[in-house]
Amino acid sequence: MGRKVTFTPERFLKKIWQLGSFDVSPDGRRLAYSANKGEQWSVFVLDIRTKREKPLLRSDQSILQPEFSPDGQWLAVQSDFEGDENFNIYVTPAAGGAARKITDTTWDSASPRWSPDGRRIAFTSNRDGDRDNVFVVEATGGDTKQLTNVDDIVTEIAWRPDGKSIAFSAGVGLHDYVGLVDLAGLTKKVVEFPDSESSIGGDLGAPKPWSPDGRELAFVSNVHDHQDIGVLDIRTRRVRWLVESKWDKTRPLWSPGGKAIAFLENRDGNIQLKTVSNAGRSPRGISRPKGTASHALWQPNGRGLFFLYSTFTTPDRLVAASGKSGRVLVDSLRGKLPTGEFADGKLVRYRTFDGRRIPAWLFVPPKKRSRHAALVSPHGGPEAQTVNEWIIKYQFLVAQGFTVLAPNYRGGTGYGRAWRRLSDHDLGGADMQDIIAGGRWLVKEGHCAPDRLGAIGTSYGGYSVAHVLEKAPDLWAVGVSIVGYFNWMTATTNERGYLQRYDRQKMGHPDTDADRFRKYSPIYFLDSIRAPVLFTGGAHDPRCPVTEARAMVEEMRKMGKTVDYLEFPDEGHSPRKMSNQIRLHERAIGWLTRYLPEL
């Protein structure tokens, strides 16, 4: 076949660091960033000028979300137990030293944000009835104070520059709004449009939506269908639209001098960092138009921005850009890649059952390396999108000779409000037909023979794998379902509170919509599955409870189906430990190559 596979999980996962959120010190000299450089996620502090760095803390648990105090002397971070997402917040000297635990509950306390005077830390927590709300605590620890009391689930928070109030996003994807709460707990909605969603961020990283003088608040809203950048005058409540276009935009970031706003623009799955003047002149691109920028943050002097950047074939880099020049501060790649075993993603569109054209990324291995088999890989979410960023599993699969199709099916993000709403009260319906149509397209276009097609997905993608195996049993030769859920009745009873609220809004209630819940639950239609399936689960998963996968495996074994199961007793929704990530990729690859062998 002319193929020798060297790009394997065992050889390369540890050679490519995984980079996460980061923050810069107020003097612009140090960068604190989260990364997995070996076995577990931790936080590292980098001297930007000398490139010298050191780990902030050492732990067998993940350490995430670093944020500098206003004086630059301290860092707030969060850590949970083996991926259970019940985080607690710690404060530690930025120069290194012992950490002080300032929240200590079995509930979740996450997204620490320092007050402008450095005296308090605001955070989100679900300790009040499993609803995420805004809390504050003294930076030295002590009793916490709950500020908001909303049922809509708070997702993002940002202190006003005067430290007297906090802006927040609330909602779970349907009729989301922006609110403002003061330190006495007085709460009001400040950005809310009929039948649409608004937020202060919408991307990974701490939101920075306030103008330096605190008079204006930047936000994103899809009131015009696609997400646009708006600016609210807090006193007059007047809104001006700074950037309107047919592309979704997220993460408005006010520059330190107040003259510009940075934002991320999503053009068909390529996400570019741009800036626009406060006067609203034509936006200017900062990152490359191809690929994905994320976690953007202004440099304290306002002369440039930091951001993460990657493509399907280029691992993450933490970049500092000023003017037309840029430099890599942290490169996740620690060796040379066998790029001859890779395939770049090509954007294609195919027709689905109702005539709509579904955008998808197609990865085709070099002809001499192909095993003449293909995989459909639906994303999770479902309100998400596969974008042009480093997704290592695709290259592992391509190196094995698989053609991969990653469909951005209806109900996902990146294509406006109307597209996102198509799956309301139909999750597991037409979106599954979009995924199935992708599989049939692969066969029709000659990417594989009719009996050489498989499916692999994670979270809602794992749910989708089980569902499409049932809905089109003759189409699939094998499936891999990673941390999925399979029974709407039990999943919506046992999952984390914010997901329960999401499911109530998007699918209904188990008491009143039981017929719909059953119709879209794969566990009730196991007779239809013919393909061998590998399931995985995380024992501490708060999103897709591990009992979901266990129940599927137990029932399929009773029925004599070909099934296997991999459970991680020390992980949550997604393995963070590198050794577990290697096991997951290797088991998935082994299962797929077993049932789609070399010809």
157 within domain boundaries = no
pLDDT digits (tens, 9 = 90+) for 556-576: 999 999 999 999 999 999 999
210 within domain boundaries = no
Predicted pLDDT of residue 33:
97
Count of domains forming the chain: 1
With beta carbons less than 8 A apart as the criterion, state whether 523 and 558 touch. no
What is the CATH classification number for the domain harbouring 469?
3.40.50.1820
222 within domain boundaries = no
**H or E segment to which residue 471 belongs:** helix 460-471
**480-495 burial by CB neighbour count: b if 16+ within 10 A, else e?**
bbbbbbbbbebbbebb
Q: Name the residue among 277, 302, 216, 322 with its Cα closest to residue 26.
A: 302
Q: What six digits make up the tokens of 398?
A: 């391509």
Predicted pLDDT of residue 417:
95
pLDDT digits (tens, 9 = 90+) for 78-112: 999 999 999 999 999 999 999 999 999 999 999 99
Give the angle subtended at the CA of 504 by the CAs of 501 and 507, to the nearest 5°.
135
pTM for the full predicted model: 0.96
pLDDT digits (tens, 9 = 90+) for 229-274: 999 999 999 999 999 999 999 999 999 999 999 999 999 999 999 9
Please, what is the average pLDDT of the chain?
Answer: 96
Q: How far apart are CA 198 and CA 124, in angstroms?
A: 18
314 within domain boundaries = no
323 within domain boundaries = no
Q: How far apart are CA 486 and CA 555, in angstroms?
A: 12
The proportion of the chain whose per-residue pLDDT surpasses 90, expressed as a percent, equals 95
pLDDT at residue 421 is higher than 60: yes
Predicted pLDDT of residue 204:
81
pLDDT digits (tens, 9 = 90+) for 282-308: 899 999 999 999 999 999 999 999 999
313 within domain boundaries = no
pLDDT at residue 2 is higher than 70: no
State which residues form the domain around 554: 339-595
- Report the 10 Å Cβ neighbour count for 50: 8
**Strand locations in 400-477 (E):** 402-407, 453-458
pLDDT at residue 138 is higher than 70: yes
563 within domain boundaries = yes
With beta carbons less than 8 A apart as the criterion, state whether 86 and 80 touch. yes
With beta carbons less than 8 A apart as the criterion, state whether 30 and 48 touch. yes
pLDDT at residue 458 is higher than 90: yes
584 within domain boundaries = yes
pLDDT digits (tens, 9 = 90+) for 377-391: 999 999 999 999 999
* Confidence band of 3 (pLDDT split at 50, 70, 90): confident
With beta carbons less than 8 A apart as the criterion, state whether 23 and 68 touch. yes
In the chain, the N- to C-terminal Cα span, in Å, equals: 9
